[in-house]
Structure 1
């Protein structure tokens, strides 16, 4: 979505930010909600779940924007939120990064003394501990290993399990770490795991976020 790319360039600052701001402002009329997520795997998971429900977020004017890390939330709120475009916002973060979201949402005037419940009311959901962990618990270790098998990566996973640092760890921890070992693997498995989810067992943060938007 052009709007998402423009918003990211605007938030990044630098020489191109002025032109990016102009593009974002021009396209903002077609945007109903900005959904701020930590990374591309979160974006892929949300969009994949929407597809399973017969929804096209882009066509609905919902811009899912990866921050490239939770500490960037302030810049994105400045350009997309009340200080900037003033568009409706929602989001998803890991529990370890919740404090960054709370602080900056309060700074731009979207709440005061926010609790986890207050964040949910605003449309910001928190994963425990992160989205990969949520998806692994939803599918179960056996289900996730079946997905790995389907992706043709069971041999690399078994090799990973055999590493000295991994041998004594629970399989759920091994699965979570495995997904982050190569660039692009988190996004690959975000889509694959959501595709295999029983829709009655969708992780609550993901389910609530999709329902909110």
Structure 2
């Protein structure tokens, strides 16, 4: 296990609290100095996969650059990770990515730890935090187009499950873009699988703005 991965795991354990938090904090502090230049806080593993895959397509290795992408395990955990990685804890440079529905959590806790006041959407971007509308999957589907996304589903061997899903009564009348987005969230690990695959098919001139701007920022 490389040291950046060890650091990321220590930070997650520290943020979670509990009996092992003290030891994890010591480990995170010891490793942070020489390994971490910037911490990117994202809602889940699919966001991490997408950002790292896009960086690779641009010839970058975020880990080698000291950019640690840390999944929060849900946007409501942002406060714990800001306490650990931000001014109250390690005091590291921060950036991040969230869904529009979770923007309020990010704003509130960034302000709480002293990283802004009365933050607007533009204010978040000034800090390096970018918002997906409505979420990462929606951004990628719009960038690629529904036809290309369905081709990717077919190459993943999931065309039949997708057709079964879209024929469910609750899905039949919905736009295909909505069906695609919902399908990606139906099984554990599917969002991350498609984050990788869809980024691989992106035209680099049509990268969703939040991903593009975040990668430029770090």
- TM-score range (shorter-chain normalised) is over 0.9
Q: Where does residue 91 of structure 1 map in the other structure?
A: 96
Name the SS for the 1:110 alignment partner. coil
Q: Where does residue 141 of structure 2 map in the other structure?
A: 136
Q: Where does residue 9 of structure 1 map in the other structure?
A: 13
Instruction: Report how far residue 13 of structure 1 moved.
Output: 0.1
Q: What is the aligned residue count?
A: 213
Instruction: Report how far residue 204 of structure 1 moved.
Output: 0.2
**Per-residue displacement from partner, 1:146-186 (whole Å, max 9, x unpaired)?**
10011011111011111111000000000000000100000
User: What are the within-5 Å matches in structure 2 for residues 41-52 of structure 1?
Assistant: 41-52=46-57
Q: Where does residue 73 of structure 2 map in the other structure?
A: 68
Instruction: Report how far residue 2 of structure 1 moved.
Output: 1.3
CA–CA distance in 2 between the matches of 1:149 and 1:197?
Answer: 16
**Per-residue displacement from partner, 1:87-131 (whole Å, max 9, x unpaired)?**
000000000000000000000000000000000000000000000
CA–CA distance in 2 between the matches of 1:82 and 1:199?
Answer: 35
Consecutive aligned runs of 4 or more in structure 1 exceeding 4 Å deviation? none
User: What are the within-5 Å matches in structure 2 for residues 6-155 of structure 1?
Assistant: 6-29=10-33, 30-155=35-160
TM-score (normalizing by structure 1): 0.99
Instruction: Report how far residue 32 of structure 1 moved.
Output: 0.2
What is the Cα-based RMSD across aligned positions, in Å? Answer: 0.4
Stretches of structure 1 lacking an aligned partner (at least 5 in a row)? none
Name the SS for the 2:62 alignment partner. coil
CA–CA distance in 1 between the matches of 2:24 and 2:68?
Answer: 16
TM-score (normalizing by structure 2): 0.97
Stretches of structure 2 lacking an aligned partner (at least 5 in a row)? none
